[in-house]
Structure 1
Amino acid sequence: MSRAASVFAAVIGVVVIVAGALSLMRAEVPPGQPIAATAAPTGSATAGGSATAAASRAVGEVSVRMGKVTAASEFRYVVSGGADTFRVILLDLGAGAATEVATVSVGAGGNPADGPYLFTSASRDGRAVLLTVNVPGARSTVLLLRPEAGDARELYRGSPFDRAVISADGTRYALSRAADDPAVNGVWVGTLGAGAPRRLVADDPSASGAPPVPVAFAPDGQTLAVRVNAGDGVSEVYLIPVAAAEGRVARDLDPVRIVGGDALAVGGANVDFGDGREILVWTGQNPFGGANLVSLFDRETRRRTELYRPPRPTSQATEVTIADAAWHPRRDRFVTVERQFCCGANLPSGVFVRGRDGTAREVARGAFFLEVWWSRDGSRLFATTGGDDSTGSVSDLLTGTVVARYCLRGPGPPPCP
């Protein structure tokens, strides 16, 4: 995806902890080796355990205290907290309840602006959650959380990268490893409980924008979408079978592309797989370049169909970037989040429901839409919203009602400290 869209994605993944982009710095420590999902829990990462005292924790060290909770049919995991203590919270969007899943203690660096940054990626049923903890300049740690069992286990510890993603069925995971070692740098995939991961895409460690990053798995978990930074503000997503031979980013070609690995370019920088055949593809402009476009990519015919392109701006206020998009479950419509392109912080965004026939209606406008997604049956359009430094919320944009609230800086339900 474009740089601007990438920044937006980073913000929503961290929920309201981070207002800027993740800085992917090279680690000063050697790349860590991934370990199997059957490894012993990390630190005190078991139900009822206690976190290590922050004063004795090395920079980048992570410990977790888990609770036990079962995800409802309509759920969302969010992260709150800051400095060296964070909480993973499970939101029940039907009951409007917020339950703390884990307390995460991190050995942070001296500058709070440098992180840590935490991201989650959950299976469709919410029983498996990947928690990525990034401490720029130190290391990244990926934990597999099993909220029903109250268990947390380390999958990876090593040089900092973007974030890990998990498949819908909770069996596969992918991560991007940024390392100076050309035998390590690239995108890696693994199967939980089946040994160490393997590299799917290699990249030149010295190249600007390296390595590529995993975006999402297809619904069946057999294909991974991988984003490559091609330069000049342009990114491209490729679909790669997880069983394919290792491919590589050919940065000596123009344009830059993935060669080998049965990689298939989809003509955009972000994807929503939908049912796995008709893929929603979008990209947004950024200060370095790129374009605003939403299209459909048919995996069977390999045909691309343009669905939406914002009109040419008539003023600075009407120039936008497509920050996010998502299929409706029936795939007869989609949502776009269009943020004012320039200039300053907290720029306003419009949220639009757009039909495949070209019809559109604006359903919300504001400066703090951090993540937007459809309910499973498509009857509600949820959004995490910010603006209050103590309370986070999820709203249904179609009705304008708040469906869940949670505390950003401390435990417990609202009212928040």
Structure 2
Amino acid sequence: MDSGNIQLVRRLERASVLVVDDEPGMRNFLVKTLTPYCLHVAEAGNADQAAALLAQRHFDVMILDNMMPGKKGIDWLAEQRDSGGFTDTIMVTAYADLETAIEAMRAGATDFVLKPFRSNQLLNAVGRCIQMAQLRRENMLLKRELEGQDIGQQRRELIGSSAAVSATRAMLARIRDVSTPVLLTGASGTGKEVVARHMHSTSKRAEAPFVPINCSAIPAELIESELFGHVAGAFPGASHAREGLLPSAQGGTVFLDDVTGLSPSAQSALRRVIEDGTVRPVGAEREIRLDLRFVLATSRALEREVAEGRFREDLFFRINVVELRMPTLAERETDIIELAELFLREIASRLALPTLEIDHATRAALLRHDWPGNIRELRNFIERSLIFGRFPLETLSPRGEQDEIAPLAQVERREILRALDATDGNRSEAARRLGVSRKTIDRKCASWGL
């Protein structure tokens, strides 16, 4: 089997196809041709049966006969598009004239196949249809990411070997393929999107789209149209139908960042989507069946948001099944150095700047700082350092010096590093001043990578 056929088989093996034809013989031929290659194949003898099947589940491709009793396939397809249907459609017709082709495309057909046709012609048409849909969605999502996403957030793996990150990895392994929504909580800048991408890339959905959505960045009046899509004429300015972000993620993962930024009506609609697995585009008469995994994130205390009326209680209970709290950077110990070195390489390469070496004093200062802005603050600090050609250590000071209560491990690390600074790195003298053994200092420094 050549590479072209291998790629075709891979596209088809995950495809769900609906065959719509009033002739039993043709319908049987189409189903028998597709079934060995496709994940799921369903059939309908008329438009009503097809509409009922489309309401039950998602189909990647619909193969539609044009000449059916009662209503032509082209006319029915146009009605489906107007009512909110977005299934990519291959029109089957016996007429090769240009007018029919133009009419089919205007009605919303992606491709058309002329009768009589061979099996390989049909399979290639379905493969092209799936490829075009995939490229269309990838282009749309790539454009969104280039416009609004931090390039550093597009990482797919968790960096670090600290106990906190190891515990996070263990939890992610347990929930790798569960369909239950996952709620990521914790302070801003702790890497929630990186974790969401990690979950997606290690799951069975990895080949499907990953769609990140910043809920607070979309105007409230547009958010339902952005998430669910809309039909032509749904509101002033909607001259064409548009697929929403949720349908564009079909089969994959949706990451809803800052979920508290959703309006009350969008929260209600999201709850229905999660519960029922369907979405209704704005202005549409029918619902679209979805197969999605939801990962939601917030840096706010949702219980307080619910108590103060800013977040719907029913949605909170629906998404608060699996909660994963992201550790702060200060809790991640030597991950600080590993991340700093990674950012140095990446940013220096991107900006075409010479890199910097993290010496002993810099390492100690990085470990001593509490990083209230977490990973985002560290990345900004590294970028600023590369631009100016030195580490501005004078801007780093532990928050623990202020009137705040820090975790015991952070206090311990801060005081040992402060003692080492005061004694010019003399561990024996630092141990004497702190009233601990030299072995304790050595053990702690080793665990911090010093």
Query: What is the TM-score when the length of structure 1 is the normalising length?
Result: 0.25
Q: Which has the larger radius of gyration?
A: 2
Query: What is the TM-score when the length of structure 2 is the normalising length?
Result: 0.24
**Higher helix proportion, which one?**
2
**Higher strand proportion, which one?**
1
